[in-house]
């Protein structure tokens, strides 16, 4: 018999979240599943790791017939503990994270615990995918994602994912129209324009609540935001190397980084209507 692939599942919404239960159900069709996920919500934790507190790892009863553990730490902690402790004698064929309750497209990938679990796996040399659904409702339906989760997972296992790369997969919100297909995209140049709502608690102490709006400044048709707007599943290959390679030449050529050399005099600009003095 052909050996089933070993698939590690994690998330950031916590081990009881509906998204991870959908993901585990799909993964069980494909391979042997082990779950290591946070014991509570860890959304927006980014790539944080626990260094100043203890980490707890306990067996979980969240899934029938699936070896599962709940961790007191972050999503990145979960993947680290899974690789070095739970699966220390075995190497997962794939790590999947999600399905996140809410979008992780564009700039949100930097804040996402879901994607940080996947990127941590890539750092550890493991192929990885993060799945997210662009719906923030209280009772969302993940059913329309299952076919594409399985398709993308099987393709990743068959063809592989480049070393050091994690795939950021986002699904459009369920609608009356079927999903149009899958597009491999780049990350849109978009951002959250934050506001901090100042409030007072019952004791009169001031606190702040983060609010804001997502603004897409990118008009390209090859972005994740454009794909999702057209009801496509977006797939963005992500890497943990954040080097801005195009800036290396500029810094080497234009900056004077020799502490013993005299710094060049700044250029003088004469404003219109003023004499040079």
> 209, 196 in Cβ contact below 8 A?
yes
CA-based torsion, 220, 105, 95, 54: positive or negative: positive
Whole-angstrom distance, CA of residue 118 vs CA of residue 104: 12
- 12 annotated binding-site participant: yes
- 13 annotated binding-site participant: yes
Whole-angstrom distance, CA of residue 59 vs CA of residue 71: 9
Please state the residue numbers annotated as binding site. Answer: 12-13, 43, 100
Mark the binding-site residues for a divalent metal cation, compressed into ranges.
Answer: 12-13, 43, 100
């Amino acid at each position: 018999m052909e050996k089933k692939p070993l698939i590690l599942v994690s998330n950031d919404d916590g081990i009881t979240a509906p998204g991870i239960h959908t993901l585990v159900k799909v993964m069980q069709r494909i391979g042997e599943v082990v779950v290591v996920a946070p014991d509570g919500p860890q959304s927006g934790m980014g790539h944080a790791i626990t260094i100043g507190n203890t980490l707890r790892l306990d067996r979980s009863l969240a899934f029938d017939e699936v070896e599962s553990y709940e961790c007191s730490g972050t999503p990145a902690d979960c993947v680290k503990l899974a690789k070095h402790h739970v699966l220390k004698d075995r190497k997962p064929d794939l790590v999947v994270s999600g399905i996140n309750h809410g979008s992780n497209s564009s700039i949100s990938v930097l804040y996402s615990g879901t994607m940080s679990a996947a990127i941590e796996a890539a750092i550890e040399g493991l192929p990885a995918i993060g799945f997210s659904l662009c719906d923030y409702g209280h009772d969302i339906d993940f059913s329309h994602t299952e076919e594409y989760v399985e398709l993308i997972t099987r393709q990743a296992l068959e063809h592989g994912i480049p070393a050091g790369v994690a795939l950021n997969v986002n699904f459009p919100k369920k609608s009356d129209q079927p999903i149009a297909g899958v597009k491999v995209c780049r990350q849109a140049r978009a951002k959250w324009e934050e506001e901090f709502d100042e409030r007072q608690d019952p004791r009169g102490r001031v606190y702040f609540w983060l609010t804001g709006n997502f603004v897409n400044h990118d008009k390209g048709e090859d972005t994740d935001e454009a794909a999702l707007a057209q009801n496509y599943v977006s797939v963005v290959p992500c890497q943990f190397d954040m080097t801005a390679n195009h800036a290396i030449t500029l810094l080497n050529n234009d900056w004077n980084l020799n502490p013993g050399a005299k710094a060049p005099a700044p250029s003088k600009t004469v404003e219109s209507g003023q004499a040079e003095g």
